[in-house]
Amino acid sequence: MNLNTPAFSHFFHDGLKLSFFDEGDPQGPPVLLIHGFASTANVNWVHPGWLKTLGEAGYRVIAVDNRGHGASDKPRDIEAYRPWAMASDAAALLDHLGIPEANVMGYSMGARVSAFLALDHPNRVRSLVFGGLGIGMTDGVGDWDPIADALLAQSLDDVVHDKGRMFRTFADQTRSDRVALAACIRGSRDLIAREDMARITAPTLIGVGTKDDIAGSPRALANLMPNARALDIPNRDHMLAVGDRVFKKAVLDFYEEVAGR
């Protein structure tokens, strides 16, 4: 069990080679982690300490590099990045590992993908954690076309849009395929109708930083769902909330109730 530098494997789905790790206690309750836009399994889940936190707590910890990200294949077709397509990758990974049901945690875009997984494959999802995305799941999170434009710009110096600069800088730091990411940000923004959110019955924790200006209210989203609760992550913005100790403790407490020990 390596909780610091996990070994990645791969599987094939939908014509794509997709990278993942499978660490922690192989007999523990499985937790499937789905990272956010322009991130990777390492950046979202290993470096901020989630693999270590969950692994030491006795969970089997699985994380995928979403299509277009990390070591996974990077199609450049916008339609390849619909959230239900990425959700099908997550279900296929569970199939590949022989896991009938998992606790699923997604951050930002990964939260949206997790919601589509719960809608399309409700029997595969024991519980949900949505991080970094609240009512924006149903109402939208603003105009993201400038972020795609920023990713395709010749240089960061050409980008004046604040969020565009943030994500372009992040993409450059992670040495990402910016053309694939531009396709992803244009293809992955499908909203979920409020009445469909109400169909998700799995126990759900929704954690959003109090300084997050992207996610939207976690309470407004929780109020749409029959079995959801909201968590404020104090003094954290969209980028910093993911590794916050308050968030980690709340998830561990939540899993003690619902994860299936």
pLDDT in tens, the chain (261 residues): 677 889 999 999 999 999 999 999 999 999 999 999 999 999 999 999 999 999 999 999 999 999 999 999 999 999 999 999 999 999 999 999 999 999 999 999 999 999 999 999 999 999 999 999 999 999 998 888 899 999 999 899 999 888 899 889 988 888 899 999 999 999 999 999 999 999 999 999 999 999 999 999 999 999 999 999 999 999 999 999 999 999 999 999 999 999 987
Strand segments, DSSP code E, in 90-193 are: 102-107, 125-131
Conformational region of residue 249, where left means phi above 0, alpha means psi within -120 to 50, and beta covers everything else: alpha
Round to whole Å and give the CA distance between 24 and 2.
7
The length of the chain in residues reads: 261
Round to whole Å and give the CA distance between 205 and 193.
19
Round to whole Å and give the CA distance between 102 and 63.
12
In what side-by-side order are the strands of the sheet with 125-131?
8-13, 16-24, 60-64, 30-34, 102-107, 125-131, 204-209, 228-233
Q: Which domains does the chain have, with CATH numbers?
A: 8-140+194-258 (3.40.50.1820)
Please give the radius of gyration of the chain, using alpha carbons only, rounded to the nearest integer.
17
Among the listed residues 206, 207, 167, 211, the one whose alpha carbon sits nearest the alpha carbon of residue 185: 167
Helix (H, G, I), strand (E, B) or coil at 217: coil
The pTM score is 0.96
Among the listed residues 39, 36, 38, the one whose alpha carbon sits nearest the alpha carbon of residue 106: 36
Helix (H, G, I), strand (E, B) or coil at 236: coil
